[in-house]
Amino acid sequence: TSGFVVLRDVDPTILHDIRYYTAHNFVGTRIDGYRQPLCILTKPAALALRSVQREMLAQGYSLKVYDCYRPERAVDHFVRWARDLADQRMKPEFYPQVDKTRLFEDGYIAEKSGHSRGSTLDLTIVKLPPRYQRPYVAGEKLVNCYAPNRFPDNMIEMGTGYDCFDTLSHTDDPRITGKAGENRQLLKSAMVAAGFRNLPEEWWHFTLNGEPYPDTYFNFPVSRRLG
Ligand SMILES: C[C@@H](N)C(=O)N[C@H](C)C(=O)O
Ligand SMILES: [Zn+2]
């Protein structure tokens, strides 16, 4: 794992909202393997992201990362959770319209995730200065992730929230018009120019082209002690 870096060490200006370290995600608890709320990436992915951040800062925006390197044990946690059909407690916010049995088939979660290769990340854009974002309180009443009154994330309008498993999160969904459509294209074009490609099912998910470990799925925990 000598090829990995902590993103904050490469660019301390990029905002973090590491959801799988918290209970505010589609499972509803901290995910296995997230020992610290950090973004770990391969060095080339972190350097490419730094170049995107420089452009964002020049335009009065900042990137905000939700998830970066994801250990295999975290993916295994998602798979275990998906098999337990009795547990649908986060459905009202994260997959209100999709049957829990279809989350993998429909491309929203992967059993073998590019995130475990270390050059894939989930992110958005925030206008500077960042708006205050209230903390999520476990057990609070959930609002669906494409409703106008959804959980108040401080990102610019993207039409749906992070990890909103719905066709409305497909990057080029034709129902996403106006500012939200423009904002998705702002993120995508900046990332593509820096060498990333987008997952068409999720406006927030990008993988570095020519990634250094295209066939290796890592399992070390998310922690400053790399490896
Ligand atoms: C779960 C979601 N944030 C995500 O990253 N989905 C893709 C398909 C993945 O799991 O690799
Ligand atoms: Zn992702």
197: left (phi over 0), alpha (psi -120 to 50) or beta: beta
Check pLDDT > 70 for residue 154: yes
**Mutation to probe ligand 1, out of 95, 112, 113 (largest number of atoms < 8 A from CB):** 113
CA 217, chain centre distance (Å): 18
ipTM: 0.98
Beta 15-16 vs 61-67: how paired, if at all? parallel
**Mutation to probe ligand 1, out of 199, 203, 206, 208 (largest number of atoms < 8 A from CB):** 199
What is the atom index within ligand 1 of the atom nearest the CA of 201?
Answer: 8
For 131-140, write each residue's pLDDT tens digit.
999 999 999 9
CA of 115 to the centre of ligand 2 (A): 6
pTM of the model: 0.97
What is the atom index within ligand 1 of the atom nearest the CA of 113?
Answer: 11
Give the burial class of 17: count Cβ atoms within 10 A of its Cβ; 0-12 exposed, 13-18 middle, 19 or more buried: buried
For 179-220, write each residue's pLDDT tens digit.
999 999 999 999 999 999 999 999 999 999 999 999 999 999
The domains of the chain, with CATH numbers, are 4-208 (3.30.1380.10)
- Confidence tier at 227 by pLDDT (50, 70, 90): low
